[in-house]
Structure 1
Amino acid sequence: MKITKTVLLAFLITLINVSSVLADGTPPSPGSTNRSTAIPPPPDAPINESLVLLLICGLSFGIHTIYRYNLNKKASM
């Protein structure tokens, strides 16, 4: 079984990201009075601000990908 360079690179980048996340110290307690370790309040913006736009972009990208796949499949016959 031959492992390509792309798969190996993706695996190494994933390991680096996971190790950097797990290497972080323990989070501060919610009742902390120290300003440098206090957790900031959440933003005031709603969570679903651009979900419709993201859905439209995802659907159009999916349709484009399927169209290109079918176009290549027909051309190879």
Structure 2
Amino acid sequence: MRLRTWSMDQPGIVSRISRLLQKLEVNIEDLSARQESAPFAGGSLFLLEMRLTVPADLPVRTLRAELEKLCDTLNCDVDLEPA
């Protein structure tokens, strides 16, 4: 699976998403993170991309729901799709 998130930059985004994935026993195979200028928003945009290995017994809909719930609290957008 490929996970992408984007939001205004703030402390703890990578940490909180990583902890959720650990709790769900999802492996992070690859990770890239970067900041981009977002003058339209008055700050920096934080972009996070991960390649994940999801356990066979974890439904993708459950993973998606948990990520969306967390991203609602972080005020970030999330996209989860097959790699």
Superposition TM-score, scaled by structure 2 size: 0.21
Superposition TM-score, scaled by structure 1 size: 0.22
Relative contact order (alpha carbons < 8 A, sep ≥ 6): 1 or 2 greater? Answer: 2
Larger Rg computed on CA atoms: 1
